[in-house]
Amino acid sequence: MAALALSRRVLVTSHTTLRTLVSDFAVPAGKITVAEPGTERARAPAARRRPQLLAVGSIVPRKAYDLLVRALAPLAALDWQLTIIGATDRSSAAVAALGRAVIETGLGARIAIAGPLAQAELAGHYDPRRSVVMPSL
């Protein structure tokens, strides 16, 4: 709350977050700007193919990618692929937990850990044929 009180402006990604900051953290609404994330217009989907799952964000404990992998284990009989894109240098413990989950579930052939990508390359992964998953705690 102290840091928020010292801020001249606060940028949030949703009106829900704005309301939370006002009600729970005493931030004046006039100091808050909402900038909702946007995407380019989606291309029409191509022919049906193997389901593609996409998770984007640094591999850190709160992203819970290890839990995502374990949650996908019961679906191993189905045909799908998961790509995780994000920094791998922020938490060695989270990277290790993810690696253990991949090995223990036997899903190594189904999961690609791409690491961080440049904006243009990342944009190519946001495809209407992919389902974005966000296992954040």
More confident residue, 45 or 105: 105
Say if CB 53 and CB 81 are below 8 A apart: yes
| Model confidence, pTM | 0.67
Q: Are 18 and 78 contained in the same domain?
A: no
CATH at residue 85? 3.40.50.2000
| Domain count across the chain | 2
E-state strands within the chain: 10-12, 32-34, 52-56, 81-85, 111-115, 130-132
User: Could you give the maximum distance between any two Cα atoms of the chain, in Å?
Assistant: 53
**Dihedral (C-alpha) 112, 118, 123, 127: value to the nearest 10 degrees?**
-10
The answer to whether residues 122 and 57 belong to one domain is: yes
Confidence class of residue 17 from pLDDT cuts 50, 70 and 90? very high
Could you tell me if 94 and 60 are in contact, meaning their C-beta atoms sit under 8 angstroms apart? yes
Reported as a single tens digit per residue, the pLDDT across 30-82 is 999 998 887 666 666 555 578 899 999 999 999 999 999 999 999 999 999 99
pLDDT, greater one: 110 or 2: 110
Residues 20 and 85 in one domain: no
Distance CA 56, CA 51 (A): 17
- Does residue 45 fall inside a structural domain? no
Q: How do residues 79-98 score in pLDDT, each as one tens digit? A: 999 999 999 999 999 999 99
73 lies in a domain? yes
Count other C-beta atoms under 10 Å from residue 9's C-beta: 8
> What is the domain range of residue 11?
7-34
Q: Would 47 be classed as within a structural domain?
A: no
So what's the pLDDT on residue 57? 95
Q: Which residues, listed in sequence order, are joined to residue 111 by a DSSP beta bridge?
A: 82
